[in-house]
Amino acid sequence: NAGVTQTPKFRVLKTGQSMTLLCAQDMNHEYMYWYRQDPGMGLRLIHYSVGEGTTAKGEVPDGYNVSRLKKQNFLLGLESAAPSQTSVYFCASSYWDWSSRTEKLFFGSGTQLSVL
Amino acid sequence: GIQVEQSPPDLILQEGANSTLRCNFSDSVNNLQWFHQNPWGQLINLFYIPSGTKQNGRLSATTVATERYSLLYISSSQTTDSGVYFCAVEGGSSNTGKLIFGQGTTLQVKP
């Protein structure tokens, strides 16, 4: 049971290049999320998904696209990278635990992206 | 949208001391969680606490939803408690895990 796995862990892009970040979870969770974290700030939600085939915008969706073709995978794409997208990106998945009546959120280890 | 403010922004403690971190939010919430981000960047969920009080070892949390604040208590702090503590909320009637994070409290525990 690997939990939430993000690839790659580090990436350097030039302005205008494109790339895809992959998030995979093996816990059969319905909900998945992409956040970005900038220095001295909390996490900001980019996009999220409440199930396979569904996606929705978060707080800061501009410049990003996502897809959830399979339940276990949530992809984050940058079509034309900009220096303002330099950040640490976190993927997460969650489920509702009926026995404890709590939501349990699990994060990946993050991807450090630099756009030059 | 809902605003989340955490205080203090920074905190330095000696090992063994107690501390209280505060989270204020601007609207009613149906989801409030506390997270710890360790110095290596890993985020761990500490509490799901939209109301009431919970305890887990040396940590406890209280949310007073009617007054729109939550408190995280750390007792007998250890160096391993160092890192950033985030409060995150979801407002309204939905519960999709669409969390809004505060800017965090950076805690340093000195030996």
B96 with A102: Cβ contact below 8 A: no
Question: How would you class B101 by CB atoms within 10 Å of its CB: exposed for 0-12, middle for 13-18, buried for 19 or more?
Answer: buried
Cβ–Cβ contact B96 with A under 8 A: yes
Q: What value does the mean pLDDT take over residues B30-53?
A: 94
| pLDDT score at A10 | 96
pLDDT of B95 higher than 80 = no
Residue in chain B lying closest to A46 (CA): B98
- What residues of chain A lie within 8 A of the CB of B35, using their CB? 105
Site from A94, A95, A112 to mutate, B interface, most B CB atoms within 10 angstroms: A94
pLDDT by residue (tens digit) across B64-78?
999 999 999 999 999
- Nearest beta carbon to residue B41 from set A50, A92, A109: A109
| pLDDT score at A41 | 80
Higher pLDDT, B87 or B95: B87
Spans in chain A with pLDDT lower than 50? none
| pLDDT score at A103 | 85
Cβ–Cβ contact B42 with A under 8 A: yes
Q: Map chain A to HEC letters.
A: CCCEEEECCEEEECCCCCEEEEEEECCCCCEEEEEEECCCCCEEEEEEECCCCCCEECCCCCCCEEECCCCCEEEEEECCCCHHHCEEEEEEEEEEECCCCEEEEEECCCEEEEEC
Contact present, B31 and A103 (Cβ < 8 Å) = yes
- Nearest beta carbon to residue B48 from set A58, A102, A109: A102
Q: Cβ atoms within 10 A of the Cβ of B61, count?
A: 23
| pLDDT score at A89 | 98
- Nearest beta carbon to residue A48 from set B48, B95, B98: B98
Cβ–Cβ contact A111 with B under 8 A: no
Q: What value does the mean pLDDT take over residues B16-35?
A: 95
Cβ–Cβ contact A95 with B under 8 A: no
| pLDDT score at B93 | 63
Higher pLDDT, B4 or B97: B4
| Residue found by looking up tokens 């980019």 in the block | A46
